[in-house]
Amino acid sequence: MPEPLRRFLRPREGWASMALLLVMLLTLVWSLQRAAWVNHMDYLLPVAVVAALLGALLGLTRLSVAVTLPVAAFVGAGLVLFTIGAEYHPQLDQAGRLILLRGDALDWTRIIVDGGFAPQLSPYAIGLGVLMWVTAFIAAYALYRHHRVLDSILLVGVTLIANMSATFTDLFLYLVLFSLAALLLWLRIALVNREESWRIRRLKENLDVPGQIMRSGVTFIAGSIALAWVLTTVAVAAPLTSVWSNLDGLWSDVRNQFEGAFGGLAGTDSRIKGTSFGSSFRVAGSWSSRDDPVMTVGSTRGYYMRTVTYDIYTGHGWSSSDGPNRRVAAGDRIFPGYSPERPLAPTSFTIETVTVEVQRSAGRNVFTPGYPTTAFAPLVVHEPNGLPLLGALQSGVVLEEGKGYQITAAISTATEAMLVGAGTDYPPEILATYAGTAAATQRTADEARRVVNAAGATDPYHEARALADYLRTDSRFTYKTVAALPSDPNRDLVDFFLFDPDGQVGYCEYFATTMAVMARTLGLPARVAVGYAPGERSEPGVYQVRDKNAHAWAEIFFPGYGWQIFEATKSIAPVLRAPGTGVVPPPPPANGQIDPGRRIPEDENTGTISSLPSFEPVDGGFAPGGQRPTDASRINNGWIFVVLLILLLAFAGWRLLRGRHRFRFLAPGDRQWQRLAFAADRAGVAQRPSETVYEYAGWLERQIPGRRVEIHDIADGKVWQSYSGRSMSSEVIARIERAWSRLQLPLLWLTLRRRLRSLLGGAS
């Protein structure tokens, strides 16, 4: 049989090894599908199978990696895009699918760069497809080209473990199946190596020996897996359980750093997804939440806890205007100067310091009720358009689980009479930022006017209340966490929700968006805020907030009284206010500035400072009345990296010195020869036991022809030292030491050249 044909029909590892590798890859495919990272994942199976077969076939060729990798990349990109396009857009031809996938990728990238949460799922599907292709191809290529079974097992296994650790879904059975296939593959390759060794030594094997080895190995593997399964149910597995649970912190850090990139994942059991809030969002058509605790709030009553507000309606979601991010030190005023959002009437608010303890990390979002004045933790304040407005609050440090912060805020107690008398003398900053109606349709504006006229509303407060009551109580609107989206991507979401027969179903983002847009068409400054609705009271003064409390709501601005919440979502009770008496106008500002006599006092506190028993301030934070940490007492993360770098360099230097000194106690001839042999061994050309000194030196002379004399001098020194029985003269010692100093750089170049050739060359 010709050698090329034999290599493909009867490869060294055999095609049974491919069957075991495919079982390992199938467990990875099934585990990814079980985790449900995206909605459609059937494409992963053909991608894995084709990648493994192509990796094996290219591995059996004599082509260099410079050829095989571009071929694999080209075939993989085409297959991934073809299968995903067919699964996500089956109604289109291939050209139309590619155009839509390209548009999704560009929109996803733009939203992520802008700090938002992208709803497009096809980019995630493409990423998973590329991951599966690369994993399967490299695993098969490493097995059939380089005969590295352990590398193949580790590559697939690490990917499987990473998937298991990133989701709460139980995937243990897939790990068991993978372990069985991996151990059988390892056993088979070990048997292949043993048979190859027998043939080299010309030992005649008993035909029953391979079968006996396989049967014994299968029995041992099955028993080991069964024992491991039993041990996971008893106390001896506790250390492993604690190690596994520590991965939650790893994925929390990933989520904190790349929260926008994972915000659109469909898997409800994802450890990465979390509930976090970015600078924009697009209504995705589904809302998922869990019952997991997120934070504990110490306060006199349950509050809406806001973190981000949005001022730009995009027709399908919201975004916050660009602007500077201003850092505020712990204990400093959040807005030390003028802000039009600050309430003016002292009788319309109370001051309370609330305590927030983080139970599940959700990025750097800081949550606050009302109008925040001071936080006892370092903050980053986003100001839309550079105006003194509160667009978002973030922590200056990572909010770890078990720690928290305290924040003082002005909580509105404005009565209906106060808000009725607020009037429409809006500050110019408010009108410029929160009154835009460019994306609203005319019939949305007509419907808003019809609703307020039907309610007999003649002032901003009653108009806002009429809109909220209409959305919350009208039987045409239904609350569901899975809702339709406009089939035309250019159609306005609010218009679809109000008038389309397939619309009128949605969750908080639908209701809050519709409320804010309708209010703007009436001339009312409005925005959408996100955070958490009031949690459940667990004990007096303590409220438990859970993931299911994540919420979006509308806020309307009233001059002198600031932003007021109007709850339009059907599933949440309305915000109740005391009626008050008469019409109470707000105190006027003085020349665009707040009257100093009406500022929020630094030390006023008509509420209660609630401190949770387990509260531990974040880095740089402190409790009210406590001593502010000095800059010298804070740990600078930059110094940590500097120290680690110094330790790494010190370790590298120590290893270098150790390598130099390992031969210092040898005789001069042996020392230089051992150094030469050690350096050549790093290049992958170790001396064989059957080679004499001069045979090995002759081979090295052919590799480095420019240093023949130096290599021969060192070989002479080795032979003289070993066989002459006499000591060397100082002149000879100096000559071989000079020879070694001249050889160091050529030997390093030989190592680099051979390693590069091995990487780009053919089979090992």
Strands 280-282 and 371-375: unpaired
3-state SS string for 29-61:
HHHHHHHCCCCCCCCHHHHHHHHHHHHHHHHHC
Does the structure show a pLDDT above 80 at 508? yes
| CATH topology classification for 417-530+551-596 | C8orf32 fold (3.10.620)
Q: What is the pLDDT of residue 339?
A: 92
Question: Which range has highest mean pLDDT (265-269, 582-586, 710-714)?
Answer: 710-714
Distance separating alpha carbons of residues 228 and 732, to the nearest angstrom: 63
Q: What is the pLDDT of residue 633?
A: 43
Q: What is the pLDDT of residue 598?
A: 40
Does the structure show a pLDDT above 50 at 763? no
Q: What is the pLDDT of residues 124-141, one digit of tens each?
A: 888 889 999 999 999 999
Biggest distance spanned by C-alpha atoms of the chain:
118
Q: Name the 3-class secondary structure at 373.
A: strand
Least confident residue range of 149-158, 291-300, 316-325, 661-670: 661-670
Question: What is the rounded average pLDDT of the residues 531-549?
Answer: 91
Q: Comparing C-alpha atoms, which of 557, 495, 568, 554 is closest to residue 524?
A: 557
* 144 burial level (CB within 10 Å; 0-12, 13-18, 19+): buried
Q: How many Cβ atoms from other residues are within 10 Å of residue 592's Cβ? A: 10
Q: What is the pLDDT of residue 653?
A: 67
The answer for residues whose C-beta is within 8 angstroms of residue 556's C-beta and 6 or more apart is: 460, 464, 519, 524, 525, 526, 563, 564, 566
Distance separating alpha carbons of residues 350 and 443, to the nearest angstrom: 40
Question: What is the rounded average pLDDT of the residues 487-500?
Answer: 90
Question: What is the rounded average pLDDT of the residues 254-261?
Answer: 54
Distance of CA 506 to the CA centre of its chain: 28
Q: What is the pLDDT of residue 745?
A: 85
Does the structure show a pLDDT above 50 at 119? yes
Q: Comparing C-alpha atoms, which of 650, 661, 702 is closest to residue 680?
A: 702
Q: What is the pLDDT of residues 24-68, one digit of tens each?
A: 999 999 988 888 777 778 889 999 999 999 999 998 887 888 888
Across the chain, mean pLDDT equals 81
Q: What is the pLDDT of residue 502?
A: 86
pTM flag (> 0.75): no
The answer for residues whose C-beta is within 8 angstroms of residue 164's C-beta and 6 or more apart is: 31, 171, 172, 174, 175
Does the structure show a pLDDT above 70 at 201? no
Q: How many Cβ atoms from other residues are within 10 Å of residue 239's Cβ? A: 9
> What Rg, from alpha-carbon coordinates, does the chain have?
35
Given the structure tokens 């040898």, which residue do they identify?
Answer: 666
Q: Comparing C-alpha atoms, which of 169, 192, 166, 172 is closest to residue 13?
A: 192
Given a contact cutoff of 8 angstroms between Cβ atoms, the answer to whether 351 and 409 are in contact is: yes
Least confident residue range of 237-251, 545-559, 591-605, 680-694: 591-605
Does the structure show a pLDDT above 80 at 587? no
Quick one: tokens of 146? 């380089």
Does the structure show a pLDDT above 50 at 395? yes
Q: Comparing C-alpha atoms, which of 306, 282, 279 is closest to residue 116?
A: 279
Q: Comparing C-alpha atoms, which of 123, 120, 119 is closest to residue 80?
A: 123
Does the structure show a pLDDT above 90 at 603? no
Q: What is the pLDDT of residue 764?
A: 39
* 401 burial level (CB within 10 Å; 0-12, 13-18, 19+): middle
Q: Name the 3-class secondary structure at 298.
A: strand
Distance separating alpha carbons of residues 305 and 367, to the nearest angstrom: 5
Distance separating alpha carbons of residues 84 and 96, to the nearest angstrom: 13
Given a contact cutoff of 8 angstroms between Cβ atoms, the answer to whether 416 and 578 are in contact is: yes
Strand partners, 449: none
Residue 754's pLDDT band, with cuts at 50, 70 and 90, is: confident
Q: Name the 3-class secondary structure at 332.
A: coil
Q: What is the pLDDT of residue 92?
A: 82
Quick one: tokens of 194? 């043993």
Please, what's the b/e burial string for 261-278 (b: 16 or more CB within 10 A of its CB; e: otherwise)?
Answer: bbbbbbbebbbbbbbbbb
Distance separating alpha carbons of residues 194 and 187, to the nearest angstrom: 10
231: left (phi over 0), alpha (psi -120 to 50) or beta: alpha
Given the structure tokens 């008038």, which residue do they identify?
Answer: 499
Distance separating alpha carbons of residues 691 and 684, to the nearest angstrom: 16
Distance separating alpha carbons of residues 651 and 640, to the nearest angstrom: 16
Q: Comparing C-alpha atoms, which of 176, 403, 111, 162 is closest to residue 271?
A: 162
Q: What is the pLDDT of residue 606?
A: 45
Q: What is the pLDDT of residue 654?
A: 64
Task: Give the residue range(s) of CATH 3.10.620.30 domains in the chain.
Answer: 417-530+551-596
Quick one: tokens of 575? 């915000």
Q: What is the pLDDT of residue 498?
A: 95
Residue 468's pLDDT band, with cuts at 50, 70 and 90, is: very high
For residue 727, give Cα distances in angstroms to 421, 719, 723, 739, 740.
109, 12, 11, 19, 19
* 129 burial level (CB within 10 Å; 0-12, 13-18, 19+): buried
Q: How many Cβ atoms from other residues are within 10 Å of residue 80's Cβ? A: 25
Given the structure tokens 């750089």, which residue do they identify?
Answer: 745
The string of DSSP letters for 414-437 reads --HHHHHTT-S---HHHHHHH---
Distance separating alpha carbons of residues 530 and 511, to the nearest angstrom: 13
Distance separating alpha carbons of residues 93 and 86, to the nearest angstrom: 9
Taking the CA of residue 587 as centre, how many other CA atoms within 13 Å lie in the half-sphere pointing to its CB?
A: 16
Residue 590's pLDDT band, with cuts at 50, 70 and 90, is: very low
Given the structure tokens 């000879």, which residue do they identify?
Answer: 732
Does the structure show a pLDDT above 80 at 167? no
